[in-house]
Structure 1
Amino acid sequence: MFNTNVRLDDSRYRLTFVSSHAPAKGEKNVNLSDRASLLEERDSAYGKLGCVSNMTDELIIEAFQAQISHDISTSHSLVDVFSEIQKKRRSEKLEIEITCQKSEGVVTTAELRSAYRHFEIPDNGEGISTEVLLGLIRGSTKPGFRENLRIIAKACNDPELNLLLEQPEEDILLDDPVLDLYYASNPVGLSNIGNTCYLNSLLQYLYTVKDIRETVLNMEAYIENEQEEGWKEKVIDGRTLTKKDVAEAKEIVVELNKLFSLMQSARSRSVTPSNRLVELLLSTGCAENTTNCGPKRADHFFEQQDVSETMAILMYRLSAAFQPIISEPDAKPIDRFSKLFYVKANKKVKEGEKRLIQEDFSTLLLNVKDDTSLEELMDDYFDTEAPETSSSASATAATIREENSKDTEDVQMSDITVTELPPVLQIHLIRTQFDKRDKTSYKSNATVALPKRIYLDQYLESNQEEQAVRIKRMKLWKKERRVCRKMLDVKKKPLFLQGSPLLGKITQPNNSPQADATIPPADQPSPSSTSLEVDPQLGEIARIAELTQTLKNEMLDFNDAEYKIHAVFHHEGGANFGHYWVYIYDDKAEVPRWLKYSDDTVSEVGVAQENENRYQ
């Protein structure tokens, strides 16, 4: 019988298998169980990278970088393997490395396949040649053509393609009547002028909101004139504005008007926001008594909150710069944009006896900890049984992050009912969580399923009496579903300690469009040592799925308060770093489509990617 001996050469990070009759001096025999484990590890993600699972993050990163530098054309498959290891380890160091590599142009296999499909080329690139690609880059006006060719050129490591892609777009795409039509029907990107991807995403979104865009473009008709005799001071969010405040706000509108005009008429792939606009929006000139109002510096720990914080500043400044709406001479002035985003609601707080508090808020702050759906997060926001950490309408992103570090047993319970809905409903998924064991913050990468439409009928105050019995029944089902999820969380903990091999299949986020967990057939073999531990979890999962479907059936005719998803902001990276982009639905196109806005690149989202993006 042969013994299999294993050496690990640290300089190459590769497993070397040697067969012999006896172990070499200094090496030990490996029994069959160990050999099976080593063979399994060799074929795992670690083995594909030339590593073993007990290596440090630093060694794995070195191995990854060494292999990429050795053959850049295999970088997309290496990134896939490296990402798989990162998900298993939940390592922020590995996540930072992935983000750095992507920022330098390294692409994933999924991105490469999508780029091939863009040009109707087989996923594996069969039949592609430099000559074909050169023809494509010179002849295509399809949205996103250049970005997709950049992905292919990077993956192929073709110097001729890379040289062509470095040329200005106008040198590649010569004047052509077809291009005039293309630029007229496709939006432009915004150049990044220094860690401003979050601001670019926000500006692209606001440009698509008709009321804001038209008010800014026609600013002279609505702008404040604080120098006018008899001008009265304005009060916004409890703060009285001076003439100086209004003048500063008007300067932002002037810069925004210039940018929107460029975006409307430019015949180029992208335009650049002025440095002055960025400076004004990054200043902290909002209400002094408003906490968490302004965007943080680039090195702030919660950098991914910059979109919502910058939105707060911008809307505050717009309200200051434009005249309020006055319906009657003696009526109280109404902020021009308040009805656009603000939800009016009543909050019933249990503190010995119920108290009713009027709540107005422009953004729903939904706390994301585990894999879930947008509907469930909204249930947690509005329903009585949900803890206040996820349902407080008056909470800010910062207070919710702070509450995440506390025990939920000490939290008050609340019930929120909506009295008035706005034309545009804004939802903020808060992913920054606090690890009580390590006393550190981290970004939750939990999957949230996004439906194409959401309905808020069940939360309307007008329905609370008319549909009282029905809504109470639904709340009981939701309560049971929450209990099932808590029980499932409790049952996971001992399994984690026991190292169950099936645990990963149940607890790891599911990245496929079929987000619901699948129960294996009864005849599927499983290790006897874990079967008794896994079955209770599967039972909870099945009950959660059953309750979710029951609730969907119950709400089939609750479809008056309908919202269609218009824009989805996306952040890739950790709790204090990363890149923003935004998906926006273009319903004005001849064929409605989703577009991805990533700084200066605007590309059309295919059907496959659209389905993937429903699970954020």
Structure 2
Amino acid sequence: MPDSVPPPDYSEVVNAERTEEVNELYPSVPPRNEDYSRKKEEYLDVADDENEVDGSDPSNESMDTKSPYFEEIPPRAAEKTYNFKDAEFFKTSERILDDLRNDPFFLLSGFDVSGKIGKGILGEETVYYAERLHGFIKNSSKKYQALIPVSTFEQLNTAKPEELEDGWKLWTVNGIIAPSPQLSIPKHPLFHFRIKIKGKGNAMHVKHKFYSFGDSQLLEQDKKDLMLDVNGIKKQASFASDAEQEYNNRVLVESIPQIVDSANYICESTGTIIRIEVYPSIFDYDDLKHFEKEEIELKVSSFLSQLPDNAIDNFHVPSTIDCLNTLFKVLKGPLTNLDTDDIKTLKPNNSVVLRLHLQLELLPSKLFFREINDELQPPRFSDLGQYMKVGYDYYLRALTEVLYLGSIFSPTSEFFKIKTTFQSDMAQVFRILNEPDLSSELQYWDKFQYITAMTALSICPYYTDNMIIDCYSIMTNLTPDNTPELFDALTYCATSRQGNDLSMFVATLRSKGVVGFMELRSCFQKFGFDITNPEVVRTLTDDQLISSYKNNVIVSSTKYERSTFREALEKVGQYRESTKIRNFLDTEPMFDVSEAYETLETDPSVDDDVLITAFQLKAEDSVYYSSLYARALMTIALQRKSPMLFSYIHSSLPQFAQSTPSLQEAYELIGCDQYADDSSVVRIFQERVAKEMNVDFYRLWVCLKVIGEAKKSKLIEGFLNSGVMDSRLLSVEKTPAGLNNIGNTCYLNSLLQYYFVIEPLRSLILQFNKTLKRHKVENDENYLVRRIGGRTVGYKEIERSYQFMYQLRDLYDKMIHENTRCVQPTRELAYLAFSPISDEVEFAEDTVEPEDAVMGDDEEQSEVQEHGEVSIELVEKAKHDEESPETKLDDHSMMDVDEKSPSAQQKATLHSAATAKISADQIENALEIGRQQDVTECIENVLIQIESALEPENLDSDNEQIDLVKQLFYGKTKQILMPVDPVTKEELSSARARTKEERFLNLIVNIGDHPRDIYDALDTYFTEDLLQLDNEEVKRSLTITELPKILQIQIQRVQFDRERLIPVKSIEPLPFKEDLYMDRYMETTDSELISKRKEVFRWKRQIAELQERRRKLTEPNDHGLSLRDALDSTRQFLKSQILNDIGVLVDSNIFEVLDEQISKIDEQLNFIKSEVERLQNLITNQFSDLNNIGYSVFAIFIHRGQASYGHYWIYIRDPKSNLYRKYNDEIVSEVPIEEVLNFSENNSATPYYLVFVKNELLDTIQPLKREIRESSQHVPDQ
């Protein structure tokens, strides 16, 4: 084409502008295809255009119903069906069409930067783009519209469906996607879409449920009906015999629509298939910018500059619509002249219109025009053979673009001599689908209502609750991984719509553990994982999550924080459908054992067998919560370290089962070899459980079970089931000796067992072998001035103390060395223990010759002669003449005294017990004294005698003897009396404090004060209170300045009933734990601790004031009625029928006043109750962080019965194995801790004396000390 042409004369220009016709653009040339007429009838339906004057005669015949996209196909074979479980995702019709409308947002999201088309959303799941779509709509000034052209240009109209086989029809809807129009050439790309709907109609008005299938999933027949055979086209175009065919191949290949997005949707209920394709526009902005007004004017200006001045005066400058009209005619020619034999060409050299209206380079580059003899020849679609419609559709798309641009610049819908509108409501498609909500679709779909949640659920605002539930259910069943996002969306809809059905559905899902994505993301973040990162989701394992959970729980400081981590893991496990996480959570112990007791509705005082029953009842009542109850039982089992509970768990709760180790592994894990006897294996097990903080109790239990089964051990089997070793199955040396009851000796046996287990004291007694020298006692200064218990001790008292020590030594020796399960204390020992030290005892001279007074292995006798007087001779012999070294009293002796009892190995000469001249009446009187004494009096008497038998090597400033007994059992308190201000009750800084320091053997707590626990009881003992002294008010405070190594606490349970004039015993429980911390009671200069004590003092004052207020409100009057009761009785009387019968009228205001007063009293009482509870909780927790001075309980004296009678025994804890034994006279048995720490309300077996040892001295408590003499005669089991 020449670059420039000579300018025509003026008349030519004017005529061209006013009378241009298509025949001027396309002059006739000889036909090149003789078969055109036949092919036209076969493929195309060409509309008549009576406005054309180029001599053409378009046919009115309709297009053949055969699809021109494929070759002839054979009859359809047996119909296959789709498996909708294989579908990719689900959408509704409204969502599909809206995605089509907004596809350009996503296709062009990176276009400005890269110039490349992005990924659309037709084939994407809604949850992946819902939020982005909302952002595009919210932040973009332009709104895209899916426009369907409706024109009098018939070639654009495709309303009639194509009839397929078996009653199927195929509808095709073409259109463009464009931004909201402005009066300018769009700079943003336009897109074409094609919607193909294959179905049989929807006569039943079914709401379609469309499932997405990939192209490869479509059945072959559906592919042929819906998709262009691109491979067939390219195959045909790959062969060219001449230049003409090569040209046609180029036209065909370049006319193939370049799909930038597509999707297939199939409805399960109707079988309807929707195929949507999106293509880029034919013309881009660079092609169309020449139609801008400025470009046109520039071109015209250049053209006019070549004309003479007289030719310019009446020149009409073409508008954009004029130029677009010319392009429309260029496109229209090949589409409407299909039935002519001539190929009409353009002659730009002879047409000013073409040169001014068009950028001629556009014709060959985009519209396949060829230059032949200075003429531009368009393609002839019939030359494309069976694929002629590919080229034809290409031109239709180009023409649609021009019509759309014309609609922007034309003030009316009539332009280009036709009438054209672009509909944006998709009414044509909705009517084809014919759904029951068609009227709502037509009314609301085009309103651009975008809510992320609704987009995600593929729903519209006018959907009913049931329709929304249906969509959610389909989507979560099809793509369960998206459940969290969909649940968030559903929750939003339920909240915003406030529909009952939807709200109930959401609540039900939440109760089943369904979790939303926002919450789920927060759960993952708690464990340090970001699930918005796909790589994290792909590689994250259950083990990693569980490990992170465990680590976070370890460092959690509160119960609430730990529970939030557990809830997070539960939700994560449900989301991942993880069996491993579920099993872990179902078997994880609870964080707090109190929660476990609450779950089973029991308390720590309940025995193991009762706990098992409680669990069984709970589990049977509620299968859903059975794992909760199982966890509770496991938690308690671990806390108690209860073999009985683990035996039940092992046999009845398989979810907790552990792998069974081999016998060799079991021995290694327990920590013993195969040669260990049964009791040794159990003891090693007990020691490891007691001492190792992080021991896996269940694992060790399983190992013990393996060993027990291999050994066929009844002892181990019994221990595994009960938690205690049956003493009947133990050899004598494996269990402590019991003590025979020699009469009504009350608590004496408990006391003797108690002193036996204290190793320093036991060693001191066993090694006692001193000779009493009268002259030394009466002349040594230390003997003369020493004081024991604040009093001096005479020779006779020392003499009986020696005999008491001999008796006690002999008893302890038997308890260690006798081959029997129990031994018998002498009645003399009982008499000396109970009778006051001041009671003199006459002793007969020893009849045994000194050289014979040694302990022999087979020489031991005890004779009782009752002839008015009782004569008891204990002759003890040893094999050696050497005297045992005297016990030196120092700190070292307390901790490390060797227990060298009189044995064959010791070979030491022993001083024997003398014969006491005690009558039967004296012994009975002593026993009666014991019955009337409390245990502390007996303890004092026993300890005084032990101290009196010791030499006074160390004396305090007040001449009080300092010895092992003082070091073990005695502490010191300091009392301070400080004057206070009578109004503020604050200490007077100017006043002088009066102080007093005293020793104490035990601390006494009064159960009558109703303490809540041992700390509350001790708080009362050490409380700061106000007293009147010497006409002034003082504050008395009591603190500890020196703690004993062994702390003894007496629980005062017996009170005197003044009405019945008899003593009564309270069985009110006093809870205590195995550990006791005394920091809060110590004398200190720590300002923080002092401040805390002052706070407690103030809180207790407030409690006292509140309780006084409550007393006044509840105190009964002379008629037994409290103030509230009196008001209520008055109210009832005034409302009674009696007054009505006698005609007394009562003002209704009186009832209002009474009700108001009653209400005020109730409010005051409720306030007092809650405030007292609050203050008591403050007091309870005030010193909870003070735990430096720790004690451990090891002896609990028990009494069952009433104040005047009952039975005594003692529980003693073995720190080495952490087991408790019950010493019930001659029977010593292991018992579970639940029996010991039984604080139930109706338990009449109550502790009355508690003994704790400093934590660092636990090793000095050694209950099991048995060294059976080989030659000792076996005594049958008692």
Q: TM-score, normalised by structure 1?
A: 0.56
Question: What does residue range 433-452 of structure 1 map to in structure 2 within 5 Å?
Answer: 433-452=1055-1074
Say if 1:463 and 1:412 are closer, same or farther in 2 by CA, change over 3 A.
Answer: closer
Q: Contact between 1:583 and 1:595, CA under 8 Å: does it hold in 2?
A: yes
Q: Contact between 2:746 and 2:931, CA under 8 Å: does it hold in 1?
A: no
Per-residue deviation, residues 401-454 of structure 1 (Å, max 9, x unmatched): xxxxxxxxx999632121111101111111122334444432222221112222
1:478 correspondence with 2:1030: no
* Residue from 832, 835, 857 that aligns with 1:283: 835
* Residue from 234, 242, 245 that aligns with 2:797: 245
C-alpha deviation, 1:321, in angstroms: 0.4
Higher normalized contact order (CA 8 Å, seq sep 6+, divided by chain length): 1
C-alpha deviation, 1:534, in angstroms: 7.8
Say if 1:497 and 1:304 are closer, same or farther in 2 by CA, change over 3 A.
Answer: farther
* Residue from 780, 787, 791 that aligns with 1:235: 787
Per-residue deviation, residues 38-93 of structure 1 (Å, max 9, x unmatched): xxxxxxxxxxxxxxxxxxxxxxxxxxxxxxxxxxxxxxxxxxxxxxxxxxxxxxxx
1:377 correspondence with 2:999: no
2:513 match: none
2:1191 match: 563
* Residue from 1202, 1211, 1219 that aligns with 1:593: 1219
1:612 correspondence with 2:1238: yes
Q: Contact between 1:239 and 1:287, CA under 8 Å: does it hold in 2?
A: no
Per-residue deviation, residues 327-373 of structure 1 (Å, max 9, x unmatched): 99xx9852331121112121123689742111111111112113532
Say if 1:571 and 1:485 are closer, same or farther in 2 by CA, change over 3 A.
Answer: farther
C-alpha deviation, 1:266, in angstroms: 3.4
SS of corresponding position for 1:612: coil
Say if 1:611 and 1:498 are closer, same or farther in 2 by CA, change over 3 A.
Answer: farther
Return the alpha-carbon distance in structure 1 between the equivalents of residues 739 and 940 of structure 2.
21
Q: Contact between 1:453 and 1:564, CA under 8 Å: does it hold in 2?
A: yes
Question: What does residue range 453-492 of structure 1 map to in structure 2 within 5 Å?
Answer: 453-463=1075-1085, 465=1087, 467-484=1089-1106
Q: TM-score, normalised by structure 2?
A: 0.28
Say if 1:336 and 1:384 are closer, same or farther in 2 by CA, change over 3 A.
Answer: same
Q: Contact between 1:197 and 1:598, CA under 8 Å: does it hold in 2?
A: no
C-alpha deviation, 1:566, in angstroms: 1.8
1:418 match: 1040
Q: Contact between 1:569 and 1:582, CA under 8 Å: does it hold in 2?
A: yes
1:37 match: none
Q: Contact between 2:969 and 2:1046, CA under 8 Å: does it hold in 1?
A: yes
SS of corresponding position for 1:549: helix
Say if 1:317 and 1:458 are closer, same or farther in 2 by CA, change over 3 A.
Answer: same
* Residue from 318, 330, 334 that aligns with 2:946: 318
1:193 correspondence with 2:769: no
SS of corresponding position for 2:1024: coil
C-alpha deviation, 1:481, in angstroms: 4.0
Q: Contact between 1:380 and 1:387, CA under 8 Å: does it hold in 2?
A: no
SS of corresponding position for 2:820: coil
SS of corresponding position for 2:995: strand
Q: Contact between 2:1194 and 2:1213, CA under 8 Å: does it hold in 1?
A: yes
The one-letter code sitting in structure 2 at the alignment partner of 1:364 is L
1:428 match: 1050
Say if 1:448 and 1:249 are closer, same or farther in 2 by CA, change over 3 A.
Answer: same
Say if 1:580 and 1:332 are closer, same or farther in 2 by CA, change over 3 A.
Answer: closer
Return the alpha-carbon distance in structure 1 between the equivalents of residues 751 and 1206 of structure 2.
16
CA RMSD, aligned part only? 4.6
SS of corresponding position for 2:813: helix
Per-residue deviation, residues 132-179 of structure 1 (Å, max 9, x unmatched): xxxxxxx8658999xx9xxxxxxxxxxxxxxxxxxxx9xx86xxxxx3
SS of corresponding position for 2:1213: strand
1:573 correspondence with 2:1125: no
The one-letter code sitting in structure 2 at the alignment partner of 1:363 is N
* Residue from 339, 343, 346 that aligns with 2:971: 343
C-alpha deviation, 1:252, in angstroms: 0.4
Q: Contact between 1:457 and 1:561, CA under 8 Å: does it hold in 2?
A: yes
* Residue from 805, 816, 819 that aligns with 1:264: 816
SS of corresponding position for 1:357: strand
* Residue from 768, 782, 789 that aligns with 1:219: 768
1:519 match: none
SS of corresponding position for 1:324: coil
1:208 match: 757
Return the alpha-carbon distance in structure 2 between the equivalents of residues 285 and 143 of structure 1.
50
1:254 match: 806
* Residue from 1156, 1175, 1178 that aligns with 1:547: 1175
Return the alpha-carbon distance in structure 2 between the equivalents of residues 594 and 569 of structure 1.
13
SS of corresponding position for 1:323: coil
* Residue from 602, 609, 616 that aligns with 2:1228: 602
C-alpha deviation, 1:552, in angstroms: 3.9
Return the alpha-carbon distance in structure 1 between the equivalents of residues 1228 and 1182 of structure 2.
40
The one-letter code sitting in structure 1 at the alignment partner of 2:1022 is F
Q: How many percent identity over aligned positions? A: 27
Say if 1:298 and 1:246 are closer, same or farther in 2 by CA, change over 3 A.
Answer: closer
Aligned residues: 404
Per-residue deviation, residues 512-561 of structure 1 (Å, max 9, x unmatched): xxxxxxxxxxxxxxxxxx99988766655544443343234332331122
Q: Contact between 1:371 and 1:446, CA under 8 Å: does it hold in 2?
A: no
2:936 match: 308
Say if 1:283 and 1:610 are closer, same or farther in 2 by CA, change over 3 A.
Answer: closer
Instruction: Report which of the two structures shows the higher radius of gyration computed on alpha carbons.
Output: 2
Q: Contact between 1:367 and 1:377, CA under 8 Å: does it hold in 2?
A: yes
Per-residue deviation, residues 224-253 of structure 1 (Å, max 9, x unmatched): 655559644343234332322211101000
Return the alpha-carbon distance in structure 1 between the equivalents of residues 1071 and 953 of structure 2.
38
Return the alpha-carbon distance in structure 1 between the equivalents of residues 757 and 1033 of structure 2.
39
C-alpha deviation, 1:467, in angstroms: 2.9
Return the alpha-carbon distance in structure 1 between the equivalents of residues 761 and 771 of structure 2.
13
SS of corresponding position for 1:337: helix
Q: Contact between 1:207 and 1:213, CA under 8 Å: does it hold in 2?
A: yes
Question: What does residue range 72-221 of structure 1 map to in structure 2 within 5 Å?
Answer: 141=715, 179-180=730-731, 183-220=732-769
Q: Contact between 1:464 and 1:471, CA under 8 Å: does it hold in 2?
A: no
Q: Contact between 1:299 and 1:576, CA under 8 Å: does it hold in 2?
A: no
Return the alpha-carbon distance in structure 1 between the equivalents of residues 761 and 801 of structure 2.
15
